[in-house]
Amino acid sequence: MNIAYEAATADLNDMNMLDPYQLEAYGMKAVNYNRDVEIFPVLNTMFEKIQGKSPYNSPTDMGVNMAGNCIIDDDVVLTASKKEILRRHCNYLVQQKNNKNVSSELYKIELIMKQLNISTDDRPVVSTYISDRNVETITVTAETEKSEINPKGSSDPKENTRSIIAMIYVCAFFCVIIIVFGVGIYKCFKVDEFKDMLVTVSGVLSGPLGFIVGYYFKASKE
């Protein structure tokens, strides 16, 4: 079901990831959405500023998700999730046929399908639709390059923009840390003051940095 969510938000690049704050606080592994993990340091700092202490130790603490209690048959949910992934895959193929640039979304869903070992053949209505409408599919293998998704060799503008923003953020993060060190040395801060300032700054900025590094490391690995 979580992977089906990734397919449903392929255009947003959402993903499931381990909650590092949950692991640190309780020694337990929990899966959460990247958006929750990314924004948690900011929210935590706001709570501390307003009421002196945050009531949450992790994004997982904040969630009240009762969906799991509604599942009484895992096999049915698994089958429905796979069908939903295939349906969205078919939808993007239709968009591609209509000359819309959805190459990155198709690439991500194809990777998910490979991960789950499913194909359009697993849902006859989809394979029949593709055959009747003569819709071209993208076959993703371990050696697939993005040039295969963009046949003319042109890069995806959206992905290039994300990469540039990510690089700017990473550079800005380290610049801020260097500035903090410089201010601390110039003002002759005590060790505790210096530590508090570093914890505050890094706490706000490290969440998005962790997401950026995790996302691009995962993408390069895939």
pLDDT single digits (tens) 141-197: 444 444 444 444 445 565 677 677 777 877 877 787 788 777 777 777 776 776 677
Cβ-contact 2, 31 below 8 angstroms: yes
Question: Within the chain, where are the H helices?
Answer: 2-8, 20-26, 34-51, 59-62, 67-70, 74-97, 103-116, 124-133, 146-149, 157-187, 191-221
Q: Which amino acid does the sequence have at 115?
A: Q
Kindly state the tokens that stand for 178. Answer: 């260097």
Judged against a pLDDT cut of 80, whether residue 222 lies above it is answered with no
Greatest CA span in the chain, whole angstroms?
74
Condensed to tens digits (0 to 9), the pLDDT of residues 39-93 reads 888 888 888 889 888 889 888 888 766 666 788 888 888 888 888 888 888 888 8
pLDDT for position 34: 82
Lowest mean pLDDT among 2-6, 33-37, 139-143: 139-143
Name which residue leads in pLDDT, 128 or 18.
Answer: 18
Name which residue leads in pLDDT, 45 or 139.
Answer: 45
pLDDT for position 130: 63
pLDDT for position 152: 43
Judged against a pLDDT cut of 70, whether residue 121 lies above it is answered with yes
Task: Identify the DSSP state of 154.
Answer: P
Kindly state the tokens that stand for 1. Answer: 């079901």
pLDDT for position 192: 72
pLDDT for position 153: 44
Task: Report the C-alpha gap between 106 and 108 in whole angstroms.
Answer: 5
Percent of the chain with pLDDT over 90: 0
Judged against a pLDDT cut of 80, whether residue 107 lies above it is answered with yes
Give the pLDDT mean for 112-140: 71
Name which residue leads in pLDDT, 117 or 204.
Answer: 117
Kindly state the tokens that stand for 174. Answer: 């380290």
